[in-house]
A and B are shown apart, each in its own frame.
Chain A
Amino acid sequence: MFTEPLTNRRRFIVGNKIFGNNISALQHFTKHPNDPMCFDPGYHFTRNPDIWQKEPPQDIDFYLRLHARHIADHYDEIFLMYSGGTDSHTMLKAFVDEEIKNIKLVSVCNGVIELNNNHVIHELFSKYNGKLESLNYKMAALSYGQKEGSSSIKTYYNILSEGKFGDFELNIRTPFSWIDLLSERSPSLKKEKMSSKACILMGIEKPRLTLSNSNTWAWEMLSTFSPDVYFKTEDDNIDQINFYLSDQIPEIQIKLSWLKKDILEKIMFLNNLPMNSETIEKIQSKTLGNFIP
């Protein structure tokens, strides 16, 4: 079950050596260039090709709601990292649709917010206003070091705080909380140790597809899409979960891959594009969340 934090399970393999971080793996690869190097996202279902061969029969919402319910059944407290982008909003929707109560939304901001904050705020309040309140959802803003002071983000926070959710106390922290100026990606959450079982929920990573042997769709993941540091808690009672990658409900990532395959084929057909790896790469690179750093 949810006992291993995401960040502890991912690993890098070079030849027959296993590394916990990419830098060590690349250093080893430099010395042993003939050894194959790969990234292992660390899930059982990403090591089991058999279960990928058939499209999961239910619609995607079914699996998302199933996962939301599964998580709610296992944790006393759920912190949902909410940026307002499609990924986190879809995750929120699954919890709302399942009528799961007492979710704590942590407003995390990045460039996306500045692009579409009007949409996000409109969506959040017009569609869910009243509903979130009745489910007793709370919202708090996550400190992002220097960026916290920027006017657009302040505005976003202010508008959200005008809602009826109110703030809550955060009781998790990151390994970088003591150097929160290090990076925008090292958010600071610091409070006391908690006694109940909690999880930090992130909605990242659309499936990334490629072609295998020029004629077969294949799922793959880049190490950069599975960030090596998010929220390292100092409390064993807090787990980190990527909502879209789950050994409990592997159908989510598999179904998304089958759906994305259909969309990519449609785009190539409708635009009369050559059906090869380069085209697929180009289309995906235009999609938010699929950039290559």
Chain B
Amino acid sequence: MGYTALNDYLFSNRTKKELKFLTDLPDLPQNLLLKNPSSLVYRKDIIEKERKQNQINELIHEFTQSEFSKIRSDLFTDEGKVPAIKSIPIPFCKLSKKMP
């Protein structure tokens, strides 16, 4: 996954506004959840988390569909992941012919 590219994508004008509310969403106090797991508050929290997850999954899907399709398919790894890009090697020492 290209996290920087994904971040840029998610912070595009459209998605930035859509996701702003997630930043401000307060976390529920853990002690409240533990004390009263069947409460309405707890269920609301679960639903909210699912909703966030669904929205994020949708955005990631949108990102990969849009951006990965512009990359030559044979460049991806066998598992379909974004390939590593190597730095220019820095030679520093001859390979020893004897036991070090």
Contacts and interface: CB of A to CB of B under 8 A. Distances in A.
Whether A associates with B in a native complex is yes
Interface of A: 7, 12, 20-27, 29-30, 33, 37-41, 46, 49, 52-53, 55, 175-179, 181-183, 185-186, 210-213, 215-225, 227-229, 232, 254, 257-258, 261-262, 265-266, 269, 275, 292-293
A100 B81 CA distance: 41
Contact of A179 (B1, B8, B56): B56
Nearest to B1: A183
Main secondary structure of the interface of B (DSSP, over half): mixed
Nearest to B23: A178
Interface in B55-83: 56, 60, 67-68, 70-72, 75, 77, 81-83
Contact of B56 (A177, A181, A275, A293): A181
A227 B31 CA distance: 34
A41 to B, nearest CB: 6
Contact of A182 (B4, B56, B67, B83): B56
A236 B23 CA distance: 20
- Counting from the closest, the 5 A-B pairs by CB-CB distance are A23-B5, A218-B89, A178-B23, A229-B3, A23-B2
Interface of B: 1-8, 10-11, 19-20, 22-23, 25, 49, 52-53, 56, 60, 67-68, 70-72, 75, 77, 81-96, 99-100
Contacts of B96: 265
A216 B91 contact: yes
A49 B92 contact: yes
Contacts of A21: 2, 4-5, 8
6 contacts: A210-B89, A216-B92, A218-B89, A228-B4, A229-B3, A229-B7
A125 B72 CA distance: 51
Contacts of B95: 211, 215-217, 265, 275
Given A30-B72, A218-B92, A293-B84, 13 more contacts: A26-B85, A40-B87, A41-B87, A49-B90, A178-B20, A178-B22, A179-B10, A217-B95, A218-B90, A220-B87, A222-B85, A265-B95, A293-B77
A82 B82 CA distance: 27
B4 A181 contact: no
